């Protein structure tokens, strides 16, 4: 039984909190190691103007509604952290968290790597804790750097993918940040400064932001607010992205076009049968029409600045590569407090950046990389063994090989929650936590390793088909119902949770649909 086992959760963000809460409900008291001094993961350190990208009703735990005092459609990061903190206190999760404790390495002990590699069943038995012969040993460093060893029968990696290991562009020798007289920083370090220090740093400075997605847009908005047109913020845009003012196109909420069961009938799904495959082929023109309908609306302000992306909105959604524009983004482009420079490549020089098509340097005092993170490196870095490091995240030509986006077929007694993205990472993480805890409590066995690997390949094929070059992003956005159905069936629950045929077909699923989910043991 799960309550007698030693379970460690790494990370106290959205996923780690949900996993801990559901383990506590099953009588297990896990230890949660959180490297930061506060909970909330990526939400704990964010620029002041950062808000939710997901409407509030979709971004909540199924059994813990937002307080009535929060009325905004997209609450800001302080409200999100307060909500997560209230959840942790309400369910007794806070008592399990050891803040300021960073897991610096993990190794599997008790079974040789050769034996693990040869197992036909996951963990040797298809069950969460295997035969009991193997355990994880975690090296955990506290704030003073003192390292202790902790043993665990099961480890949940809830470390997310939008923090920790910054993605920094590479440059030819002598043409990187070392050639620049000014200050270079990544969005991660900018966010860590806190609002007042960050604003003080950029005040009166010529700031250049590299990137054109969430963190880059938020930082540019903050620069424009602080410096106005006196010192415009320049954004170096290497890839144009679909950034949307809201989720309405020509008065139609785009969830009706992309995020219900009807829209999923237009897509070839992993492991589908012949009839569903035929239907997806026949209905594919409708999918194209939906995309063109939404693009015709969203591209209106983009055309003005030559910022219409080369890829379709559908492809961007499939890879979870869209962002909601910060307030007044296009107004700031109009007035000139934000200036766009489109350039596939750039290098540093003494005065700033050299970008394509510009004869003189882009003079800068500060350059901020809003270029994202290397989430897969973060997972890989958890392991000390070369064998686990080599298989943990697949290769450049594969997706990250996780069955149900949680379990690596060849890594025992371990799961990952919160790496794969959805329409609302919080609600998906909560459902995954329910699924995983039910599995850990003996609710079901996993298929054999070969069957899981086959399933992983089906999902990889789907990602490559619809997300193009972004296939490694492990996103389930446009197939979240199909995905959730699998989790429900594994738990012995009815996946059809709406009232009536039309509601099931046209309405969008959210946290409220899974409030009363009651997993059954096999």
Cβ atoms 456, 401 nearer than 8 A: yes
Residue 521 confidence (pLDDT) above 70: no
DSSP symbols for 280-337: HHHHHHHHHHHHHHHHHHHHHHHHHTT---SS-HHHHHHTT-EEEPPTTHHHHHHHTS
Q: Which two tokens stand for residue 507?
A: 């309405």
Mean pLDDT of all residues in 433-457: 97
- Over range 438-463, report the average pLDDT: 97
Q: How far is CA 79 from CA 247, 329, 333, 359, in A?
A: 21, 22, 28, 45
Q: Which of 117-126, 187-196, 404-413 has the lowest average pLDDT?
A: 187-196
The predicted-structure confidence for 257-293, as pLDDT tens digits, reads as follows: 999 999 999 999 999 999 999 999 999 999 999 999 9
**pLDDT tens digits, 63-100:** 999 999 999 999 999 999 999 999 999 999 999 999 99
For residues 475-491, average pLDDT: 96
Domain spans in the chain, listed from the N-terminal domain onward: 7-163+374-513
- CB atoms under 10 Å from CB of 459, counted, come to 23
pLDDT band at 516 (very low <50, low <70, confident <90, very high): confident
Q: What is the pLDDT of residues 409-424, one digit of tens each?
A: 999 999 999 999 998 8
The rounded distance, in Å, linking the Cα atoms of 414 and 419 is: 14
User: Could you tell me which of 77, 421, 38 has the C-alpha nearest to residue 215?
Assistant: 77
Q: pLDDT band for position 522 (50/70/90)?
A: low
CB-based contact 514:431 (threshold 8 Å): yes
Is 517 a residue whose pLDDT tops 90?
A: no
Average pLDDT, the chain: 95
pLDDT at site 316: 95
What local confidence, expressed as pLDDT, does residue 165 receive? 87
pLDDT band at 464 (very low <50, low <70, confident <90, very high): very high
In this predicted structure, the answer to whether residue 199 has a pLDDT above a threshold of 90 is: yes
DSSP 8-class letter at 42: G
Angstrom distance (rounded) from CA 80 to CA 54: 12
Once rounded to an integer, what is the mean pLDDT over residues 330-344? 96
pLDDT at 519: 80
Q: What is the pLDDT of residue 353?
A: 97
**7-163+374-513: CATH superfamily:** FAD/NAD(P)-binding domain (3.50.50.60)
The structure's pTM equals: 0.95
Say what the pLDDT of residue 92 is.
97
What's the confidence (pLDDT) of residue 473? Answer: 87
């Amino acid at each position: 039984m799960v309550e007698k086992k030693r379970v460690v959760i790494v990370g106290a963000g959205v996923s780690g909190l949900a996993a801990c809460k559901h383990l506590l409900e099953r009588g297990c008291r896990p230890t949660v190691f959180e490297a930061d001094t506060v909970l909330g993961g990526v939400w704990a350190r964010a620029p002041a103007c950062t808000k939710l990208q997901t409407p509030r009703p979709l971004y909540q735990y199924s059994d813990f509604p937002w307080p009535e005092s929060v009325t905004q459609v997209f609450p800001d990061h302080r409200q999100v952290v307060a909500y997560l903190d209230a959840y942790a206190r309400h369910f007794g999760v806070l008592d399990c968290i050891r803040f300021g404790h960073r897991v610096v390495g993990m190794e599997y002990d008790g079974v040789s790597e050769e034996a693990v590699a040869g197992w036909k069943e996951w963990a040797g038995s298809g069950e969460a804790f295997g035969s009991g012969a193997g355990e994880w040993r975690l090296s955990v460093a506290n704030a003073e750097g003192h390292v202790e060893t902790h043993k665990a029968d099961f480890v949940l990696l809830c470390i997310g993918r939008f923090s920790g290991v910054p993605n920094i562009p590479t440059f030819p020798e002598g043409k990187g940040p070392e050639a620049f007289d000014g200050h270079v920083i990544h969005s991660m370090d900018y966010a860590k400064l806190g609002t007042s220090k960050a604003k003080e740093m950029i005040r009166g400075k010529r700031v250049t932001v590299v990137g054109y997605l969430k963190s880059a847009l938020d930082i540019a908005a903050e620069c424009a607010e602080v410096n106005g047109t006196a010192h415009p913020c320049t954004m170096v845009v290497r890839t144009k992205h679909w950034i949307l003012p809201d989720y309405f196109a020509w008065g139609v909420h785009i969830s009706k076009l992309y995020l219900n069961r009807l829209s999923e009938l237009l897509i070839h799904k992993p492991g589908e049968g012949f009839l569903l495959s035929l239907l997806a082929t026949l209905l594919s023109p409708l999918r194209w029409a939906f995309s063109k309908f939404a693009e015709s609306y969203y591209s209106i302000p983009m055309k003005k600045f030559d910022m219409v992306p080369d890829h379709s909105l559908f492809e961007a959604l499939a890879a979870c590569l869209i962002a909601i524009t910060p307030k007044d983004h296009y107004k700031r482009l109009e007035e000139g407090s934000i200036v766009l420079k489109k350039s596939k490549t750039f290098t540093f020089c003494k005065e700033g950046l050299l970008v394509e098509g510009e004869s003189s340097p882009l003079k800068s005092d500060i350059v901020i990389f809003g270029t994202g993170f290397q989430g897969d490196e973060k997972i890989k870095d958890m392991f000390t063994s070369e064998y686990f490091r080599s298989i943990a995240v697949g290769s450049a030509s594969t997706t990250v090989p996780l069955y149900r986006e949680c379990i690596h077929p060849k890594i025992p007694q371990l799961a990952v929650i919160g790496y794969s993205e959805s329409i609302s990472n919080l609600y998906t993480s909560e459902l995954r936590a329910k699924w995983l805890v039910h599995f850990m409590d003996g609710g079901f066995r996993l298929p054999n390793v070969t069957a899981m690997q086959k399933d992983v390949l089906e999902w990889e094929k789907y990602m490559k088909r619809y997300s193009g070059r972004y296939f490694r992003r492990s996103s389930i956005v446009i197939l979240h119902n199909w995905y959730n159905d699998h989790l429900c069936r594994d738990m012995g629950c009815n996946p059809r949770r709406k009232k009536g045929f039309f509601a099931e077909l046209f309405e969008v699923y959210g946290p409220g649909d899974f409030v009363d989910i009651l997993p059954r043991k096999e």
